[in-house]
Structure 1
């Protein structure tokens, strides 16, 4: 039995296309992307890195509420999203606001979500997505249901979700992938293995050698991907999407990555559980650095272009946070009114009480 387990684990080798030096090491899986596509992907990654830096600063100023840093995970998040279509349905976790923004959520609404305002959870009609899930792993069972709905309606679309390595320790993770596998639902399940579930390292969460292998028990296709490699993530996602819309069932993709910042800005101190040497090693694998090297070698990206993206991002963020700051404040009556279509008697009384207070 030990030999069987080791044989399975050994099959989940790391899938890589673009190495840390920005060189192609797997020509067969190099994505067929135009120069304009490559530049757009780099633009999104650069923009998102700036958004992360500014969001951390805004949080420290008290202008944002809950915020989970994303630096280091841009390839995992944005290269995967780049392989999707507008018709695909996104079910993000709380760290996956960047994908929502590129899916079409206005930036000011993303800031309202961070502030805890209900308007930050109201997706525009043309944005196929749910608001970020705070409950760890819950989006996996939701994704299985959404994917089955897409299948029953005959849609050529997939449901896509993300969780961290800690999410694989939740029951919802197993229930979601098992249900999707049993019904051959068109779903893509991402596990962004950033090495720590808050402060708990992966090797203390599970005895499994990889997280991708957890898909074997559910009978679904699984990949283990270099999550700092934009090409590997894009290629794996595109393949998973093709399988899903062709009726071949769901896919589990483990992207091995790293978050440079804390788990969230709510008091987490990563220096208490991570070494400086570990962070330095992962910084050498930075997804922006290796992708920039590749684009520079092709002669299609320059420092001036990147600086322009940075300035545009700063301007957009300044405008969006001002809009979020000036948005009508959330009232207690808003919270009560949003809970039910028809208020029960006890809440009707509270509604009238707070309406009177708010009118003064």
Structure 2
């Protein structure tokens, strides 16, 4: 009997050593207490208040958008409640010159980046005006194709690098998007060309109804960046200070010529995947919802700010009332925008219309003039 051969390598050990490196970055715990002084970002009292203001405003925007959708006044809508720290704190770490390539759940970031709210409502309705960002507002329209924005983000970032711009390109997707081929192509391209890109995966636990653990054998999504040779971070996505700190550092690295970063924000969406008929009670338990409600980013941040005398019920009420009023004005402006016509679609699609469409264009022009 031949002697049993001893393995000269242990790939399982290598995998485990990589996975064990990804400890979650956290600054504030669920009680709003600082647990990592070293990671605490340098934000002034005014900046802390502004970050909270934007998060509260965004929660109101989500509530009103759901209501407007149910009234038939909005079209496609993906709820955002629970992801305010992941979305708003990450955006808070950016500058106006940076480019944002959002997924369909990431409307709040592009609104805070400068897209007028009424245009965000028009995007939801499928109106072309909703996709016409004003000059100087560096955003692309929310991507509906899962993960496609990752490839685009790599390209935009490379363009910024080649033009010598001191800016980064930032994109978002959900945990489901990390299972798409575009995800790997995007991060690999950006890594290969050392592009100033930030890739954020908002791991809200479910890709529609598919739990994260059924999508991949990987212990974390963050570790997938290692294969592309880019720095990767796992952060508490319900902690705005941790998210801000991680994205801020990634941006600084990118501007210093150190290339892209992949960031996984561990978070939770309290509502359905979209308002198009998804029922989260069919795939999520009430116990799980309760567990994550205790981690609510607004509650956590509110406790921290109140402890420092920087927030109050009166201040929050002011923000809520302002949000409601501005949302009311924005939906009114969206309602007043001329309805989209078939001829608009044709004219916007082609610089030089083919002969067969020219004929149809004339037919519809005549119909629309009646």
TM-score, reference length from structure 2: 0.97
Q: 1:319 aligns with which of 307, 318, 329?
A: 329
Matches within 5 A, 1:1-360: 1-360=11-370
Query: Residue by residue, what CA displacement relative to the aligned partner does 1:220-245 show, whole Å, maximum 9, x if unpaired?
Result: 00000000000110000000001000
Size of the aligned set, in residue pairs, is 360
| Partner SS state of residue 329, structure 1 | coil
Instruction: Give me the whole-angstrom Cα distance separating, in 2, the residues matched to 1:177 and 1:297.
Output: 40
| 1:126 positional shift | 1.2
Query: Residue by residue, what CA displacement relative to the aligned partner does 1:154-209 show, whole Å, maximum 9, x if unpaired?
Result: 11100000000000111100000000000000000000000000000001100000
Ranges in structure 1 where 5+ consecutive residues have no aligned partner: none
Instruction: Give me the whole-angstrom Cα distance separating, in 2, the residues matched to 1:207 and 1:349.
Output: 55
Instruction: Give me the whole-angstrom Cα distance separating, in 2, the residues matched to 1:85 and 1:300.
Output: 24
RMSD between aligned alpha carbons?
0.4
Larger Rg: 2
| Partner SS state of residue 266, structure 1 | coil
Instruction: Give me the whole-angstrom Cα distance separating, in 1, the residues matched to 2:332 and 2:153.
Output: 34
Ranges in structure 2 where 5+ consecutive residues have no aligned partner: 1-10
Query: Residue by residue, what CA displacement relative to the aligned partner does 1:279-321 show, whole Å, maximum 9, x if unpaired?
Result: 0000000000000000000001110000000000000011100
Point out 4+ residue stretches in structure 1 off by more than 6 angstroms: none
Instruction: Give me the whole-angstrom Cα distance separating, in 2, the residues matched to 1:103 and 1:115.
Output: 20
TM-score, reference length from structure 1: 1.00
| 1:326 positional shift | 1.3
